[in-house]
Every structure is written in C-alpha cells, then in structure tokens.
Amino acid sequence: MKVIATLSLATLALLATSAAGDNPSVDDVKGFAKPYTPLPNEPLAGAAKDNAIAGLAAPFTYDGFKYIGSDPAAMKKCTKTYKATGTIKDAKKLAPFFDCMINANYLAGFESEADWAAADLAKLPAPFKKHKAKLTKLAKDHAIVISHYLEEGEGLYDNWNLYAVKKDTDGKLMLDTLLTGSAKAKPKK
C-alpha cells in the first residue's frame, strides 16, 4: 500500500510540474528581467511598477547589492534597511523593497553589452559559489540564468547577475532570487 501511495504522490508531482510547463528559457528570463531595470530618468510608475512588483515571489533572496541611486538619503536608507544580502520572506514587504532593488548595482548589466546564458552550476562565478546548494534545488523548477559583462574602472572587472525565475501554476514568470557579483578580470590567454 505504501508503494502505491508513494507512486500516486510522485505522479501528482509530475503532473503539477507538467501543468506549469517547462522552465523559462534564457530569452524568457532576459525579457522578463527588463522591467526590473528602468532607465535612470524613466522610473517605473503606476501599472508598470505594479506588474513588476507582482512578478516578485517571496521568499525573495538577493545578494551582492550596492544601492547606487541618485538620491543619497534614499540609498543610505536602503543600505540600512535591506543590507547587501538578505531574504524578503513576507510578500507584503516586496513592494517597499522594490524601490531599493531597482537602484541596486545589477542594473549595469542592462546598460552594457551583457552575455546571457543558462548557469552552469558546476562552474559558478566565485561570488555565487556559496549559493550552489540553494541554486541546485531551485534548478529543478527554475531557470537559472547569468548575465555577464565587463566594466572598466580601476582596472577591468567581470560582473555577473544571476536570476532564478520560475513559472507559477498559471504559467506566469516569477523572480525569487537575484544575485550580483564582480571580480577583477583575469587576463585572457
């Protein structure tokens, strides 16, 4: 009897996964992420902002954030309230977090020519390796996508953003993990 019950639960889980469809593609994630990257002089407002917030799922995990908006007092408040790393567990707290999130350093990936690809969990960039166990679990029903771009400052830096996006039961894309990181670029051989 236990074997039959286990098979039935496994079958139900498989059907639920099939009903939601396949994981989103890299292009799906890239297009989906665009509303989270407003241009500095064109902030999201009204329905566009509401739709972007509705695309966030709790618990929402973020890491590597530096808040770099044009309002120093607001960015100081973001840094104090949300820090560089955290998890928003309550969906009601995603809306206030959103105003800080869209002023975080991951936006530069859209301002430059970034390469987008499915994440290879065996070869994660150094800033994301501490998240490997969580990302491995998420990969079962999420697209794990990395954008990579080079940035010149005091030297050349590799910059990465990692997006974990899933489909909800209605097939709507939902972002629940956003990681950002950088490292001094290694010379190409």
pLDDT tens for each residue of 20-71: 348 899 999 988 887 776 555 566 788 888 988 999 999 999 999 988 888 8
3-class SS of residue 148: strand
pLDDT value for 41: 55
Q: Which amino acid is at 123?
A: K
Measured in whole angstroms, how far is the alpha carbon of residue 70 from the centre of its chain?
A: 23
**Contacting residues for 65 by C-beta, under 8 A, at least 6 apart:** 82, 83, 84, 85, 100, 101, 104, 105, 106, 180
Q: Which helix (H) or strand (E) holds 28?
A: helix 26-33
pLDDT value for 4: 33
> CA 135, 141, 146, 147 torsion: positive or negative?
negative
- Would you say domain 24-184 falls under CATH 1.10.260? no
pLDDT value for 88: 97
Q: What is the mean pLDDT of residues 139-147?
A: 94
**Contacting residues for 111 by C-beta, under 8 A, at least 6 apart:** none
Q: What is the mean pLDDT of residues 140-156?
A: 88
Tell me which residue has tokens 């009204």.
Answer: 46
What distance in Å separates the CA atoms of residue 149 and residue 158, rounded to the nearest whole number?
A: 6
Q: What is the mean pLDDT of residues 7-30?
A: 54
Position 97 confidence tier, pLDDT thresholds 50, 70, 90: very high
Count of helix runs (H) and strand runs (E) in the chain? 7, 6
Asked whether the beta carbons of 60 and 177 are under 8 A apart, the reply is yes
Q: Which residues are 88's β-sheet partners? A: 60
Residues of the chain with pLDDT > 90, as a percent, come to 47
Q: What is the mean pLDDT of residues 113-126?
A: 92
Query: If you average pLDDT over every residue of the chain, what do you get?
Result: 82
pLDDT value for 129: 96
Burial class (CB in 10 A: 0-12, 13-18, 19+), 78: buried
pLDDT value for 40: 54
Measured in whole angstroms, how far is the alpha carbon of residue 107 from the centre of its chain?
A: 11
pLDDT value for 58: 96
**Contacting residues for 6 by C-beta, under 8 A, at least 6 apart:** none
Q: What is the mean pLDDT of residues 154-169?
A: 90
The residue ranges of every structural domain in the chain are: 24-184
Tell me which residue has tokens 């695309």.
Answer: 55
* pTM of the model as a whole: 0.81
Position 165 confidence tier, pLDDT thresholds 50, 70, 90: very high
- Say yes or no to pLDDT of 120 above 60: yes
Q: Which helix (H) or strand (E) holds 53?
A: helix 46-54
